[in-house]
Amino acid sequence: MPEPFDLADDTFASNGDRPKSITLKDVARLAGLSPITVSRALHNPKLVKPDTIARVKEAAAAMGYIPNMLAGSLATKRSQLIAAVVPQLSNSMFAETVQGLNDELSAHGYQLLLSVSNYSRQKEDDLLTAILSRQPDGIVLTGIHHQAGVRKKLLATGVPVVEAWDLTPSPIDIAIGFSQERVGEQVARHLLDQGYRRFASICARDERANRRRLALEAELQRHDIAPVATHMATPPTVLNLGREGFRAILAAGHAPEVVVCSSDVLAHGALIEAQAQGIAVPQELAIMGFGDFDFAAFTHPPISSVHIDKRAIGVQAAVSLIAKIEGRPLAQNVIDVGFTLIERGTTHKVA
Amino acid sequence: MPEPFDLADDTFASNGDRPKSITLKDVARLAGLSPITVSRALHNPKLVKPDTIARVKEAAAAMGYIPNMLAGSLATKRSQLIAAVVPQLSNSMFAETVQGLNDELSAHGYQLLLSVSNYSRQKEDDLLTAILSRQPDGIVLTGIHHQAGVRKKLLATGVPVVEAWDLTPSPIDIAIGFSQERVGEQVARHLLDQGYRRFASICARDERANRRRLALEAELQRHDIAPVATHMATPPTVLNLGREGFRAILAAGHAPEVVVCSSDVLAHGALIEAQAQGIAVPQELAIMGFGDFDFAAFTHPPISSVHIDKRAIGVQAAVSLIAKIEGRPLAQNVIDVGFTLIERGTTHKVA
DNA sequence: CTGTTAGCGCATTCAG
DNA sequence: CTGAATGCGCTAACAG
């Protein structure tokens, strides 16, 4: 532990008295060169003689020089900044996407400006204004539905934009995700194939989750089946909402054969509630999750789910954005990362 | 869905051809004023006549003016940016802290630059260099142990710094967290009081988790008790590591009365594994978690844990940073957010 | 390979 | 209350 009890003095106060930063010019002086040469030595070494590069590096190190990227970005019009807006961070699938995004960005020298919209389009819009003022080189948004005017505002700036976690034929710029509708439809077909007929759902009040639910119901309709019960849960999607949701469904007198949940977290809650009530899963009740969270394969029984490569969405967003920023053409501006139904212990063949 | 199929044209390409941004000067011209007056009307309305403010706002709106904060920050030396470095985002307690931090910052007009260190001090150090070049107004680090030189580097810049999730008498600037040692000690005492004697632990390879474990063992020592088994797990701390860990402990022939886990996620895994093996919890095996995650209270049985106000750490970090940035003195630069043992269904009085 | 000149967009002086 | 001059720190463009 270095310098113990240096508190009194070190409590260097309000940032008026910040040490005057040492600049390129200072380094240049010490190295006996012009500022621009120092700049080049640091960022464009090919243009500088090895000797001088060494001299520069030495001087910079000696002075503890830290470049001022604000100034650099202002001059180059490249900020090396990517902004992302997610609906939520804790208890969400987005944390993984953000981590993937960040990892890939970091590997390419970009940094991440992160904002949380709390599922509010208005908030997203407001955040976007603040974000744009930082001149990001790229932006990642969640979803394809935004406040009126967002599309135009974004197009006006010309920043590359990724809309993640959904698909559309007409993205603002780039869309990376999967079809919510196809998920709902496929889940319905799969469960119908297994012989289930009495469906219930526990669904988060989330635009995408709801579209999956509606697509599932539409597919059921086509087979002349209507869901017996639907329980909506307000995010954040915590485990207890799954327990409560299933309890509510039972309390209303419904006896579903299968409960389809908009998230594995809810499915897990339903599973625990069922077990607590002595209902055998999957014999008496089947449960379907979504997202294929880390824990889904390891609960007891493991939860059948829809696998989404959450991390890949983030990584792919970074890759696409960087490609576009660096002027490389994209093969496609709508990327379907797909999904996979995963049959595990909470569902089984009935018919 | 606005403007369907406008893809072909809208695929505005690589950012060379970004629309030349409209500046303060442009707005000024349209409003028939000087740039500085426009600037004041926007950021310092008190210095400007109401009429002209209106005129400015109108002109700005008409042109869709978006201020360039890079330029603004360069001039003012205030970036309104707070940088945070966390070891990990997905499957971690830090997501909640980051969300709290972000919410509070956002409410005060600050934005968050987020980086992930992957539990590497070297990476943290590297990130810090990149971060400092953005001239953040404040920095949040996780933990109190950093690469050599980090402390000095930070002090040299004079940026306010919060070290979160731990405590120390000599923080770089501000520390906000709780004592890992006291957690370990208290958990040991509590379980000893309940009559447990044969302890095992499943512990993440994480500096803080390990210090809690060591403190627990030290307290056991004082009662002449040595743990029967310790299983270390490499982050990310996913549920399956808890299952595997407990399985490994059993496989090694140990028969602990209680398993202390460094995270509720691991505890949950241990719980599921125990149940899968027909071991009754808490009758035959007690399990202690850490973190009081959302799900802990709702598993079956609910998991005894140590509650940490994860979100508060982030909020408090923001509050302290902002206070310092704005020149308000801090009452204290070491803030203990404490912790609370929560007795639930996975432990019970034996003696 | 290195230097000079100019300007990125805005806000801080200081004047009126 | 409004404006003119100057500079934040860096790099693009053009020399040499």
Q: Evaluate if residue A207 carries a pLDDT over 90.
A: yes
In A275-304, the residues whose Cβ lies within 8 Å of chain B are 275-276, 294-295, 297-300
SS3 label, residue B336 = strand
In B178-237, the residues whose Cβ lies within 8 Å of chain A are 236
Q: Is the Cβ of A20 closer than 8 Å to some Cβ of chain B?
A: no
Q: Which two tokens stand for residue A7?
A: 């508190």
Q: Which nucleotide is nearest to B68 (CA to C1')?
A: C9
Q: For residue B280, what are the CA distances in angstroms to B76, B277, B300? A: 64, 9, 11
Q: Confirm if B293 and B309 have CB atoms less than 8 A apart.
A: no
Amino acid letter for position B195: G
Q: Confirm if A282 and A345 have CB atoms less than 8 A apart.
A: yes
pLDDT of residue B35: 87
- pLDDT tens string, chain B, 351 residues long: the values are 333 323 333 333 333 445 668 899 899 888 888 889 989 899 888 888 888 888 889 889 999 999 999 999 999 999 999 999 999 998 789 999 999 999 999 999 999 999 999 999 999 999 999 999 999 999 999 999 999 999 999 999 999 999 999 999 999 999 999 999 999 999 999 999 999 999 999 999 999 999 999 999 999 999 999 998 999 999 999 999 999 999 999 999 999 999 999 999 999 999 999 999 999 999 999 999 999 999 999 888 999 999 999 999 999 999 999 999 999 989 999 999 999 999 999 998 765
Q: Which two tokens stand for residue A301?
A: 């029984």
Residues of A in contact with B77 (CB under 8 A): 18
A248-A252-A254 Cα angle (round to 5): 100
End-to-end CA distance of chain A: 67
Pairing of the two strands A340-342 and A305-307: antiparallel
Nearest CA in chain A to B87: A99
Question: Does the bond joining A19 to the residue before it have cis omega, within 30 degrees of 0?
Answer: no
Residues touching nucleic chain D (CB < 7 Å): A 20-21, 23-25, 35-36, 39, 42-43, 67-68, 71-72, 74-76; B 33-34, 36-37, 40, 47-49, 51-52, 71, 74-75
Rounded to a whole number of angstroms, the distance from the CA of A314 to the nearest CA of chain B is: 12
User: Cβ neighbours of residue B28 under 8 Å, at least 6 residues apart?
Assistant: B34, B35, B37, B38
CB contact under 8 A, B90 and A95: yes
Tokens 């949040």 -> residue: B140
What is the per-residue pLDDT across A220-261, written as a single tens digit (0 to 9) for each?
A: 999 999 998 999 999 999 999 999 999 999 999 999 999 999
Q: Is A229 left (phi over 0), alpha (psi -120 to 50) or beta?
A: beta
The pTM score is 0.91
C-alpha span between A328 and B197 (Å, rounded): 64
**Length B74 CA → C4 C1' (Å):** 24
Q: Is the Cβ of B342 closer than 8 Å to some Cβ of chain A?
A: no
Tokens 């998920």 -> residue: A183
Q: Which nucleotide is nearest to A25 (CA to C1')?
A: D9
Residue at minimum CA to C1' distance from nucleotide D11: A75
Q: What is the percent of chain A with per-residue pLDDT over 90, rounded to a whole number?
A: 81
pLDDT of residue B150: 96
